Each structure stands twice: as C-alpha cells, then as structure tokens.
Chain A
C-alpha cells in the first residue's frame, strides 16, 4: 500500500472536518485490521475504488458524532435519515477528494450508506485494512481503507 494513496483518503476526511466541522479532527495512530466489521461504529459511508488499486474505503462513525456534526452545521433535526445523509456526505467529500487527486487512473464510486454491520460488503479475508482513528471534538470515528 502506498503512503501517498492512503494520505489522499485521510486528507479527504480531515478536510471535511476542517471546513465543515468547525474544528480540525485529530488523527490517531493508524493500525491494521483483518475484519472490517470489528471497526464499524454504527453509521458507515462506503466508497468503492477500482483502477490502479481496488477495494473499498469506509468512513464509520457513531450516531453521537453525527448528531453533533449535524448541529454544528446548523441542522437541528438529528433524525436517522439525516445521520445517514451526514455520514454519506463525509464519504462523498472523501470520494471527491480522491477523484481530484487520483485523476484518471482510478474509478471512484458514489458513496452508499450502511447502518450496522457491513453484511453485503465483500473484503478479501487475506486483505488487511488500514484503520485510521479520527477524533473530532472528543468523538471517535474511523476511516477504514481496504485496498489491494
């Protein structure tokens, strides 16, 4: 896995919080995970990546973070739907950043949102994912990068 490629996704996430969240998010020490479901925190926005590298990138966050984020953005309605939209929006920003930085060698999918376990998501079991802990206003989220 290439450090530059990983950074593109991480920067996408931090960029979101710096510009939309009012204060920057802090990145914890990245680690490896062989089971993506163990990293799921409730709401997950997923983007598919293919081309030079293939796999998936997830932004997963607990509902509390999404609620605070919604309120920070001026949205008082912290309904389930709005939280889904919020996590999808973060994934969208990550995806947009990746599209911009990776240019023409990659295809980046439109994000989808999954609540709870990622049952339908197929990640090769031999593929270890990089998990980047993200802490924003003391709430924890994770960016999971599972690319071949």
Chain B
C-alpha cells in the first residue's frame, strides 16, 4: 500500500525537486551576476572618473601656469592638480594590479586588476601614454603650494623652476593632447567597461529568462502530471465507489461499521434501512435504534455483548460462539396497536487498522422465515411429545367412544363458560354459579375416569379443588373465578389436543385397515360403534382394582341403541356416578364380604328398560353393605345440613333423600372417584333436568337400589334423535 503510494507520488516529487533546482540555479546565478554587476558599476564609474580626471589634470596644469604667470595665487589650481594626479594615478595602478582606492562617492572600494584582454590592452596603452605626463608632473607634486603670493613667487628661483616645469609639463600634455590620446584611452576604457557590463546584464537576463522558462515548463509539467494523475485517481476512486455502492445497494444483508460509541458509520447497505424500517441510519446509535423494538433485557444483553468486542483482550472466536444476538426477536409497530415480529441475526467482526481496533463490521440478516420455521418445529416437537404421553392415556379407548366423550366434554365446558358469562353479580349468584360448574365438571371427570383418561381427570379434579376452595370463602368476588377460568382454558386446550390426536389416529387406522378390509367380516362392520356397557365395565374394573375390591357388573339394555339418543348422555352420566359411588361406598372389600357370608365378588346390576306407559326405567342395584342410616344422620348433622332435632324427627325416607344434597358425603377422604359428595347431586340434577324421578331402597348389609323413572320422549323429538 505504502509502496504504491510512493510510486504514485514519485513523478510529482521529482518535478517539484526540479522546479526547486531550477529556481535555486537562477537565484544563485542572479546573486553571482548581481555581485559582478556591482563590481562592473564601480569599475565603469572609476573609468569615467579617469576620463574626467585626464581633462581636469590638463585644466589644473594650465590654470596653475596661468596663475603663476599673472601673479595670482597658485594654491588652488596646484592643489587641484595634485589631487587629480593622485586619484588618477592610484586608480590607474589599481586597474593594473588591484587594490583599495577611494571611490567616486568618497568611500573606499576594493577592485581587482583587469583580467580581460581588451581591458588589459587599453590599460597598457593608457599607462604608456600616462607615463611621460606622470614624470612631467612630478616637480609640481613636490612643490610646496603654501607660498602665499604668486607675484613674489615668480621672482624666486623656485617660482622660475616651477614655471619651467609647468611649461615642460604643458608641452608634454600638449603633445599628448594633440590627438587627445589619454582622453581617448580613458574614454575607450570606460566605454569598454560599460559594454562588458551591458553584456553581462544581457547574459543575466538570458539566464534568468531561461531559468524561469524551464521552471515554468516544469511547473506546467507538474500541473499536467498532477491533473492527469488526479483525474486518473478520481476515476479509480469513482469506479471503486461505484462498485462499493453497487455492493451496498444490492446486498441483502444489513452491512455497516460500528464505532466504540455504538454509532453506525456513514456507509451502510440499503438493505439495512429495510431491515430496520427506518431511513438516515448513518450516525445513529445502534442501542437507541433497538430501543422500542426489543425489550429492555435484550437491550442490556446487546450492549454488554458488543462491549466485549471493544474490550480488545477477549478472543474474537470465543465471543462469536457466545453471540446472544444471532437470533433477536424484534417487534415493529404494525397496523393499529399490533406488533409485527421479525427475527434478526447479528454477526460482528473486528476491523483492525495498524493492529488497532478501529470498528466492528456488523452484518444483520432478517432470519424471520428460518426462525419461524424453527419455532414451528419446536412447537410441533413439543406437541408431539405431549401427544405421545397422551397416546398412552388414550390408546386403550376406542376412538369412537373417545370422540363421543370429547364432544360431550366440550359441550359441558361450553356450558360452564356460559355459566361464567352470565352477567349477574353477588355472592349468592356466584355460589350458585360455582355449584353449577361443579356438577358439570364432576360429570366430565366421572366419564373421563370411566374411560381412564387420567389427564382429564386430573385437570377436572383441579377445577373441583379450586371451586371447593372458593366456596369455603366467606365472600366471593368475580375475580376469585379467574384461576377457574384459566384452568377451564387449559382443560379446553387439552381436550382439543386429544381431539387432534384422535383425528390423527383415526386417519392412521383408516389407512392401516384398508389393507385388511377384505378380511373384515360384514357383521363386524355392522357392530355398534359405541357401547356404553363396555365403558361402564371398564370403569367398574378400574375403580374396583384401585379400591382392592372385586366387582362383577351386569348390564341390561345399555348396549347398542336400546337407550334413546336423547337419554344416552344423561343415562351414561348417571350410570357412571352410580358405579363410582357403589364401588367406593357400597361394595365391601373381599374380606368383609366373606365375614358377611357373601361371595368375594360384589355384584352390580344396571338395567334400562322401557315401561309399558312409554316411560323408561333406569335402575341400579348392588349387593353391598346398603345405606348406613345412622352414618347418614350423623353426617347430615355434622355437616350442618340439618340440626340434631330435625334429624330425630325425620323418617328414613327423608334421611335417604339427604344423600342427594350437594356436598353430602359420608366418606372422610376425597379421591378422584368419590368423597366430595357431588355424585348424587349430579344424578339428582340430571333427573330434575329430564323431569324424571328417583327412588332409593336399601337393606342394611344386603343391597342398595336406585330406580330412575324417565318420562316418555315426545314423538317429534324421538324422530329428531
């Protein structure tokens, strides 16, 4: 990556380096030539001064001579001559050999000896021309110029000598002056120096222009290169961005980066918005995003779990394995107040930059379909397991009998629900409701018990317990029924489950039987589908076995279709209650029976017969211990049904009627078959509902007999049945 970067910038770095080199070169050259320029200027100025001095010397010489001749003071012109001489001579020497002299501005300047050929040649010529004049001027230089009056001077030898020397010098100068040689040479020198200086200036400009030109070319090369590269990289970035955008637009997962503050990065897949049903997710805090669509507990789990990733010490694979967010149930506000439940799967990966944790890459998937399937599978599995348990419960029962029972039970439970639904309020109403419900549920329990449906018996028994509990309270409110209603819901659900299972079993049996259908005899197919006596035999055997008794049941008229449809249900319910009571309370144990000179096996006979007047008689008789009138009397008093005085006054017939009272039981223990004192109450209610009559006869130690007379069925109802 870094190698690629440096390659990308090499050309730019080289171009910039060249630009700097060019600029520096021009600058250095500039400095050098500027310095040279300054030197040239000094030389040009000095050469100009020499040209002027060459003329001024002649002028001073003539003025000195003129002053001397006319008797004027010579000091000024002589001093001027001296000064001009010194300056000219020292400057000429400096031009020749180099040295420090006084410049035109009076400052000391250091100059180098002329080195170029032309200058040297002009200088040599000047020196040669200067030499005679220089020698001729020596006497004037040595003359003391402080003599005050010239008139006196001319009279002196010194003055005469001076005049002579002046004359000689003027001659030399005049000779020279005839062709202005010194002036011409100094002028040539000045012009030459000026020309040299101008040449250098031109060279400098060329160098400057070239350098700047090269720098400009370089600049444009850099610019072109940069723009081209920028365009190229822009295009590459554009392509890369397009590809990234295409991926983010197309990918079905929610993809985004999460920072340590749990904020979603600026780039995320389009699917993320669909998944969270929200736009503008960039910069949104993930925890806040989840708030409101998951319960608080899930929110805390999410926060804690993500923090594990940012705590760098924890092994990523280990954290992955623990991911509690791989299936999160989220709830979006749907239509109305309903929630729409979806399942989201979150996956996290650490993003490292230079070995440092920078972000988490988060992948979110909507896994609703899969999760729903899994849940369905779980429910189905749980149901199958429950049904397997149930299967053991119902396997021994004929499906038709069972279906019959289930239909009847559902009717009974529906009736219970109707009782609950009745809107009347008040303690007495509630107690009455409880009584009615108890009778219904007791009947259901009885039949379930007869069929050996222990699960139903258990649930019905629980409802009875709940009712008994509420009944014992001094005051009852509607809210007290809540557990009862809940249990009713459970029982209904259970019965529905059994129904489903039976339906499946029937289907299965139909398939199974098809292969053997040819073997099935016609008479077998014609056999009655439901047989009440079979049910009653089963019940008798089961209760007898539980009680350690032996009982033989003999049924007449209860098989097949002898019992009219309309009476079939109530007769069955009554028969069940008679058997439960009879086996539990009536029939003695084998040992007691031996003591009483009876056979070990007790006998119960049940008979349903039409009477001549169109009525029906359903009778029950057992050869048990008979009703214990004293026990009934005592129980009635103990349980507060009648007072002690009242019982004394009651005849046996009236006392026997007490056993039909709700809650009357001589048993001290409550079992699922008897003991609550409800069975006889159920019978009495059934008889009352059917407008029938019930009679009891008993002989102590010999038998108990119930005879239920049921009225004739009206013709239209009979036909309907």
Q: Is there contact, CB below 8 Å, between A31 and B420?
A: yes
Q: Is there contact, CB below 8 Å, between A107 and B339?
A: yes
Residue of A nearest to B479 (CB): A27
Q: Is there contact, CB below 8 Å, between B492 and A6?
A: no
Query: A108-119 toward B: CB 8 Å interface, digit per residue (1/0)?
Result: 011110100000
What is the distance, in angstroms, from B612's C-beta to the closest C-beta of chain A?
46
Query: A29-47 toward B: CB 8 Å interface, digit per residue (1/0)?
Result: 1111000000000000011
Residue of A nearest to B414 (CB): A32
Q: Is there contact, CB below 8 Å, between B333 and A109?
A: yes
Of the listed residues A27, A30, A133, the one surrounded by the most CB atoms of chain B closer than 10 A to its CB is: A30
B597 at the interface (CB under 8 A from A): no
Of the listed residues A3, A32, A49, A140, the one surrounded by the most CB atoms of chain B closer than 10 A to its CB is: A32
Q: Is there contact, CB below 8 Å, between B336 and A120?
A: yes
Residue of B nearest to A10 (CB): B479
Question: Could you tell me the distance between the alpha carbons of A70 and B423 in the complex, rounded to whole angstroms?
Answer: 25
What is the distance, in angstroms, from B483's C-beta to the closest C-beta of chain A?
6
Question: Could you tell me the distance between the alpha carbons of A99 and B190 in the complex, rounded to whole angstroms?
Answer: 110
Question: Could you tell me the distance between the alpha carbons of A10 and B338 in the complex, rounded to whole angstroms?
Answer: 20
With A26-B478, A50-B331, A112-B337 as contacts: A130 and B485 at CB distance below 8 Å = yes
A-B contact count (CB 8 A): 104
Q: Is there contact, CB below 8 Å, between A46 and B337?
A: yes
Question: Could you tell me the distance between the alpha carbons of A7 and B485 in the complex, rounded to whole angstroms?
Answer: 13
B463 at the interface (CB under 8 A from A): no
What is the distance, in angstroms, from B362's C-beta to the closest C-beta of chain A?
23
A28 at the interface (CB under 8 A from B): yes
Stretch from B135-143, B144-152, B291-299, B672-680 contacting the other chain: B291-299
Question: Could you tell me the distance between the alpha carbons of A93 and B584 in the complex, rounded to whole angstroms?
Answer: 54
Question: Could you tell me the distance between the alpha carbons of A104 and B298 in the complex, rounded to whole angstroms?
Answer: 8
Q: Is there contact, CB below 8 Å, between B489 and A32?
A: yes
- Taking CB atoms, residues of chain B closer than 8 Å to A48 are 333-334, 336-339
Question: Could you tell me the distance between the alpha carbons of A122 and B433 in the complex, rounded to whole angstroms?
Answer: 32
A73 at the interface (CB under 8 A from B): no
With A47-B337, A111-B337, A122-B338 as contacts: A28 and B297 at CB distance below 8 Å = no
- Taking CB atoms, residues of chain A closer than 8 Å to B483 are 3
B335 at the interface (CB under 8 A from A): yes
Q: Is there contact, CB below 8 Å, between B296 and A104?
A: yes
With A28-B423, A140-B423 as contacts: A1 and B339 at CB distance below 8 Å = no
B683 at the interface (CB under 8 A from A): no
Q: Is there contact, CB below 8 Å, between A54 and B479?
A: no
- Taking CB atoms, residues of chain B closer than 8 Å to A49 are 339
- Taking CB atoms, residues of chain A closer than 8 Å to B425 are 26, 28, 135
What is the distance, in angstroms, from B347's C-beta to the closest C-beta of chain A?
24
- Taking CB atoms, residues of chain B closer than 8 Å to A3 are 482-483, 486
Of the listed residues B420, B478, B492, B493, the one surrounded by the most CB atoms of chain A closer than 10 A to its CB is: B478
- Taking CB atoms, residues of chain B closer than 8 Å to A28 are 423, 425, 478
Q: Is there contact, CB below 8 Å, between A56 and B295?
A: no
B481 at the interface (CB under 8 A from A): yes
- Taking CB atoms, residues of chain A closer than 8 Å to B433 are 29
B477 at the interface (CB under 8 A from A): yes
A105 at the interface (CB under 8 A from B): yes
Q: Is there contact, CB below 8 Å, between A30 and B336?
A: no
B488 at the interface (CB under 8 A from A): yes
Cβ 8 A contact of A30, one of B333, B481, B493: B481
A15 at the interface (CB under 8 A from B): no
With A105-B295, A105-B297, A135-B425 as contacts: A29 and B337 at CB distance below 8 Å = no
What is the distance, in angstroms, from B296's C-beta to the closest C-beta of chain A?
3
A74 at the interface (CB under 8 A from B): no
Question: Could you tell me the distance between the alpha carbons of A51 and B298 in the complex, rounded to whole angstroms?
Answer: 10
Q: Is there contact, CB below 8 Å, between A6 and B486?
A: yes
B421 at the interface (CB under 8 A from A): yes
Q: Is there contact, CB below 8 Å, between B478 and A130?
A: no
Residue of A nearest to B422 (CB): A29
A103 at the interface (CB under 8 A from B): yes
Q: Is there contact, CB below 8 Å, between B486 and A29?
A: no
Question: Could you tell me the distance between the alpha carbons of A121 and B492 in the complex, rounded to whole angstroms?
Answer: 24
- Taking CB atoms, residues of chain B closer than 8 Å to A104 are 295-297, 300
Q: Is there contact, CB below 8 Å, between B478 and A114?
A: no
B341 at the interface (CB under 8 A from A): yes
- Taking CB atoms, residues of chain A closer than 8 Å to B229 are none
What is the distance, in angstroms, from B568's C-beta to the closest C-beta of chain A?
27
B residues within 8 Å of A by Cβ? 292-297, 300, 331, 333-339, 341, 417, 420-423, 425, 430, 433, 477-479, 481-483, 485-486, 488-489, 492-493
Please provide the 3 A-B residue pairs with the shortest distance between their CB atoms, ordered closest to farther.
A104-B296, A31-B420, A48-B337
What are 29 A-B residue pairs whose CB atoms fall within 8 Å in the complex?
A3-B483, A26-B425, A26-B477, A27-B477, A27-B478, A29-B422, A29-B433, A29-B478, A29-B485, A30-B479, A32-B492, A48-B333, A48-B339, A50-B331, A50-B339, A51-B295, A51-B331, A56-B337, A103-B296, A104-B300, A105-B295, A107-B293, A110-B337, A114-B336, A128-B492, A133-B423, A133-B478, A135-B425, A140-B423
Given contact pairs A32-B417, A106-B295, a sample of 7 additional A-B residue pairs in the complex whose CB atoms are under 8 Å apart: A28-B425, A30-B479, A30-B485, A31-B417, A32-B420, A32-B492, A140-B423
